[in-house]
Amino acid sequence: MPEGDTVWRAARQLDRSLSGKVLTRTDFRVPAFATWDLAGATVEQTLSRGKHLLTRIAAGERWTLHTHLKMEGAWRVLRRGQSWPRPAHTARVVLETDDNVAVGFQLGIVEIVAREGEPELVGHLGPDLLGPDWDAVEAVRRICEQPERPIKNALLDQSRLAGIGNMYANELCFIGGVAPETAVEQVPDLPRMVARAHQMLDLNRRRAVQSTTGDLGRGRTFWVHGRSGQPCRRCGTTIVQSMVGEPGRERATFHCPSCQPLRGAPADGR
Ligand SMILES: [Zn+2]
């Protein structure tokens, strides 16, 4: 699942490749917009808000192409004539200019809205961890509105703070020394955990390899994520995998039973 820093990088690449360019061909391979043709329009900007991508396009009227990578999606910018890295039938959007072809594969959301409609797309989001208006105090306040909620579920809720996916949620629980099911009110230092979230995404958006340990070596980038059955890097205890999340939205969860004791009474979420 793409995390906020991955989405931010995708936005930056689209922005650098397309902004100011005229679209020579467009192809929206989703039923609702299959008949749309924005050839001749100018791309103004692409930006990210949390894990949402907004590509602003002007064609007389001002439109916003809203895309979301969800679980498997990716944007790739290719030279014209270069072969695509994924099967063509998985492409959902193709934006072509004189220089480049941007292809959105397996996108979870594709829609075009009038520019004024942007707040409806992203207005529900909490503070954007990688936004110019990042507000840590407000993020902590929103998380604390649900004191009994398991901390991992709260971190994944984009209306509390925007940009954290499953990997960062797992890693943040480890760094905070709390079991993922720990109630928000039992987390010893929530402002510190939120500050670490910002620090991690901010560091990783600038580099090709995501790491939470600070080590960029292969297989050494994460504390617990994806490491079930392996020894904890701090204490040697075997990392455990389980499923944690709201019903129907359980996610693969990794934790060290020794470094991450369950604090207080067990909360819902398993
Ligand atoms: Zn440990």
Q: Which residues contact 14 (CB under 8 A, 6 or more apart)?
A: 46, 53, 55, 75, 77, 102
Q: How confident is the model at residue 270 (pLDDT cuts 50, 70, 90)?
A: very low
DSSP class of residue 150 equals B
Looking at residue 265, its pLDDT comes to 53
Looking at residue 208, its pLDDT comes to 84
Q: Are 170 and 255 in contact (CB under 8 A)?
A: yes
Query: Ligand 1 centre from 239 Cα, in Å?
Result: 8
Query: Ligand 1 centre from 231 Cα, in Å?
Result: 8
Single out the catalytic residue among 51, 92, 160, 227. 51
Task: Please check the confidence at residue 70 and state whether its pLDDT lies above 50.
Answer: yes
Single out the catalytic residue among 21, 149, 227, 251. 251
Looking at residue 1, its pLDDT comes to 77
Looking at residue 125, its pLDDT comes to 98
Query: Ligand 1 centre from 255 Cα, in Å?
Result: 8
Q: Are 153 and 244 in contact (CB under 8 A)?
A: yes
What is the rounded end-to-end Cα distance, in angstroms, of the chain? 21
Task: Please check the confidence at residue 180 and state whether its pLDDT lies above 60.
Answer: yes
Looking at residue 246, its pLDDT comes to 87
Q: How confident is the model at residue 11 (pLDDT cuts 50, 70, 90)?
A: very high
Bridge partners, residue 111, by sequence:
66
Query: Is 87 marked active-site?
Result: no
pLDDT in tens, 91-121: 999 999 999 999 999 999 999 999 999 999 9
Query: Ligand 1 centre from 230 Cα, in Å?
Result: 11
Query: Is 3 marked active-site?
Result: yes
Query: Is 70 marked active-site?
Result: no
- For 113, the enclosing helix (H) or strand (E) is strand 109-114
pLDDT in tens, 186-229: 999 999 999 999 999 999 999 989 999 999 999 999 999 999 99
